[in-house]
Amino acid sequence: MSTFPTASSPPRSPTHATPQPASPTLVETTSPPLPPLSAASTRTGPASAAGGVWTKSSFSPHTPGLCSKDLNDFDFDGIDKDLERFQQDELVKQALSRGVELKGYSAQIEQELKEVEMESVKEYVQQSSNVAALHGQIQSCDMILARMQEMLLGFQADLGGISDEIRHLQEESRSMSIKLQNRRDVEAQLQKFLDKMVLPPDMVSTLTGKEVSDAYMEYIVNLNSKLAYISQTRPAPDGSSLDMAPKETAAGKEMAPKLEKLRLKAVAKGRDYFLQRIAELRNPKTHVQMVQQHGLLKYKHLYKFLVNAAPEVAEDVRTTYVETMGKTVFSLFRAYHAQLQKLVVEVANKNDLIAVEESAVRGLFSSRVDLGKRGDAFSLGGRDQVLGTVEDEPILVHIAQAQKAQYPYEVCLRSVFKHLTEAVTCEFLFCHDFFDAHAPEPAGQNDSGHRGTETFNAVFARTLSLCLENLENYLFNCYDAISLLLMIRLTIFFRRIMQRRRIPVLDAFYDRVTMLLWPRFKAIFDANLKSVRTANAKKLGGVDLHPHYVSRRYAEFTATCLALHAAAYPSGGYRGAPAAVLPPVMQTGGEDMLLHDVSTLTREILTLLQRLAERQRGIKERYVFLINNYDQILNVFHERRVEGEERRRFEEALAHQRELFVEEELKTASFGRLIAFVKDSEATAASALSEGREGPLEVDAGKAEQLVREFAASWKAGIEGIYRDVMAYFANFKNGMEILKQVLTQLLLYYTRFQEILKKAWPRNPPAFAQDVVQTSQILSEIRKYNRTF
């Protein structure tokens, strides 16, 4: 449908007119003319078929062409809605407000529409030439587009042919790539086969004409792989021989004799080389580790070649090495041990017991006991320093001989263990690196997976037996219990070192050493225990108030046993030992036995000291003797930092003897009657209290007066006498001052209790002698003169 401009629209210029095809329908249109914009709102009904505008008057019953049936079919509700909508239009409202006649206005609008329609027709007629030209251009464009379509269809057909050619080329390229890859795979497999089969000329000349060197080792490794390859009875796993065994191929049959000749030549040269290097180990001044590292281990692949190519030759080489190296190590340790034996000093003999008769310890030209031998075999002294030198270098014999040095046996044993540990470590690592360098043989053939350990055991078998034999010979005449305990500790330390290095080959050796040391220690300990248990107090030398040598020996021996006992160190180590060698608490089988024996020895020494105390003249001297001996034992325990049951038992025994001495000293120092009066009076008071009797305490007034006057006259002299006795009895000043303090305190307590008894006997009227009672402050002032810490 064509669109026409409205009456209010300006006429379009020819340049802006939309070209339309020249057609009769452009002029004769069936569309009704559009009303002008100003009159658009005045339409009140739908357009008729003739193109007119319906008005309200057009619906009159007298309107021609309408019948009552048409009126009945007409939608008056729609008309009412249109009327309501038009009434809201501003133009309609203005027209109605001015009183415009609608019928005349409608006719005017229709006339204007006709005029606009005619003008539009004229304009289209004027532009008919342009429309015709446009139509011609459109037809020309259609022809051009048709030719372009034919050309593109041709291009499409050509491209289809080119695509087929490209697909064909791609298929050919893919096929050629597969062929190339197959040829490369074949070339790689063939190259592997040739590399493992062919013998290069320089390889043959090197293996047959030159000495063993680094280049020789490279060709030996290559030859070993070629022999292993050609000896396969099945197709090679890497597919280099395809589906045939390498030795069944034409190349394999041709190369097998040549490889065999080369194998025999290389085996002979390798055997000669190793036997020459092993022979160097027999020379006394040969550096064994240098020969092992640079002459043997450097060429371990040559030995691997011998194992694979000639197992009997490899076994011959191993056997020769075991014999040669075993003799070398045995000779070195035998000579070293013999030289160390000359440096050993004897610390104890069979007479060095805790309780030994006086004749055994008396000097050669004197009837007195040799005080110099009292603690040498029982005191630890500085001998435990050997535990802190575990990682130190061993003793150099020639230097020690030049310095005329002498050592206890445990120091020499530490040096032997140090040498043994280092030699075992080096030899064990060498044997595993050299003799286990090759892969284990298949099942059913020679199993060499543990060949290194077997070789090591064979090399060191005689040497370890020598060390055990030397130790056993020493233990036959050993009476040094301290040395045995130190050697047990050293055994634990060196076992820990080997475990830290992950070389457990000496565990059985250290077990044997421990089984030798503990029984001998038990025998020596039992001998000391027996000497204490069966000792005759009259044959143990003179007994005075000073500590007996038996208590000193016991204290030193017990402190040493507990200090070296493994359970004495919860952290597992020994103070003074380097942190790297501190062992854990390693039970060696004798720890519980040792603690039990020490407890038994403590019980027996207490009994022996009681027997020795009975040789004193008086009861007070017995107390003094026991106190001095107990104090000496506790001082040694304190110096050695010994804690536990033994120390507690002696502390209790010392406290009990001090109490007995205090009572006895007060009795013999002119205070005995006063103490007896106090005890009797307190007993009487307790009896009266239990019977319910009341009143003043009944005491002998004359006796009380006599005691008051005696105490007032002699108390200062009594305290001075106590001070002199204590200083004379007890050599240990600290112990003497403690006992003096305890005696004077007890005296003050007795006198205070005596004053309380007097107050209870005369609660209201003090007796006449009360003025002679010495005041407590006076006694305290006097006591401070003798004891500054009181």
Start-end of H helices in 565-618: 591-613
pLDDT band at 545 (very low <50, low <70, confident <90, very high): confident
pLDDT band at 491 (very low <50, low <70, confident <90, very high): very high
361-388, pLDDT tens digit by residue?
565 444 555 544 445 788 888 888 999 8
- CA distances 733 to 226, 449, 631, 647, Å, are 91, 72, 11, 21
Query: For 508, which DSSP code?
Result: H
CA 633 to chain centre: 44
Q: Residue 37: which of 75, 10, 8 has the closest Cα?
A: 8
Average pLDDT over residues 474-495: 93
Instruction: Look at residue 14 and tell me whether its pLDDT is greater than 50.
Output: no
* 362: phi then psi, degrees, rounded to nearest 5: -75, 145
Query: For 450, which DSSP code?
Result: T
Q: Residue 216: which of 225, 227, 205, 201 has the closest Cα?
A: 205
**Residue located via tokens 């006796």:** 703
Cβ density class 369-388: b for 16+ within 10 Å, e for less: beeebbbebbbbeebbebbe
**pLDDT at residue 448 in the model:** 44
Q: Between these two residues, 148 and 586, which has the higher pLDDT value?
A: 148
Q: How far apart are CA 448 and CA 445, in angstroms?
A: 9
Query: For 438, which DSSP code?
Result: S
102-106, 201-205, 293-297, 628-632: range with highest mean pLDDT: 628-632
Cβ density class 775-784: b for 16+ within 10 Å, e for less: eeeebeeebe
pLDDT band at 422 (very low <50, low <70, confident <90, very high): very high
**pLDDT at residue 544 in the model:** 83
Instruction: Look at residue 22 and tell me whether its pLDDT is greater than 50.
Output: no
Average pLDDT over residues 644-652: 91
Q: Which of 34-48, 608-622, 631-645 has the lowest mean pLDDT?
A: 34-48
Q: How far apart are CA 48 and CA 164, in angstroms?
A: 68
Q: Residue 529: which of 593, 613, 616 has the closest Cα?
A: 593
Sequential DSSP letters for 351-406: T--SS--HHHHB-TT-SSB-GGGSSTTT--TTGGGGGGGTTSPPP-HHHHHHTT--
Task: Give SS3 for 2.
Answer: coil
pLDDT band at 145 (very low <50, low <70, confident <90, very high): very high
590-606, pLDDT tens digit by residue?
778 888 999 999 999 99
Domain boundaries, the chain: 111-194, 201-309, 332-440+450-535, 542-569+587-647, 670-789
Q: Which of 21-35, 307-321, 740-754 has the lowest mean pLDDT?
A: 21-35
450-461, pLDDT tens digit by residue?
788 899 999 999
**pLDDT at residue 604 in the model:** 95
By the 8 A CB rule, do 742 and 665 touch? no
pLDDT band at 60 (very low <50, low <70, confident <90, very high): very low
pLDDT band at 103 (very low <50, low <70, confident <90, very high): confident
Instruction: Look at residue 135 and tell me whether its pLDDT is greater than 70.
Output: yes
Instruction: Look at residue 437 and tell me whether its pLDDT is greater than 90.
Output: no
Q: Which of 41-55, 291-305, 416-430 has the lowest mean pLDDT?
A: 41-55
249-283, pLDDT tens digit by residue?
777 677 777 778 878 888 888 888 889 999 998 88
**pLDDT at residue 365 in the model:** 42
**pLDDT at residue 43 in the model:** 40
Average pLDDT over residues 694-708: 85
**Residues with Cβ < 8 Å from 326, sequence gap 6 or more?**
458, 459, 460, 461, 462, 463
By the 8 A CB rule, do 630 and 654 touch? yes
Instruction: Look at residue 486 and tell me whether its pLDDT is greater than 90.
Output: yes
Instruction: Look at residue 141 and tell me whether its pLDDT is greater than 90.
Output: yes
304-329, pLDDT tens digit by residue?
888 888 899 999 999 999 999 999 99
59-68, 95-104, 300-309, 484-493: range with highest mean pLDDT: 484-493
Query: For 89, which DSSP code?
Result: S
Q: Residue 309: which of 273, 369, 268, 342 has the closest Cα?
A: 268
Q: How far apart are CA 497 and CA 391, in angstroms?
A: 9
Q: Between these two residues, 321 and 38, which has the higher pLDDT value?
A: 321
Q: Which of 176-185, 326-335, 364-373, 634-643 has the lowest mean pLDDT?
A: 364-373
Q: How far apart are CA 305 and CA 321, in angstroms?
A: 17
Q: Which of 312-326, 441-455, 652-666, 740-754 has the lowest mean pLDDT?
A: 441-455
Packed helices 481-500 and 549-564: angle between N→C axes, nearest 10 degrees: 10
Q: Give the mean pLDDT of the chain.
A: 80
**pLDDT at residue 73 in the model:** 61
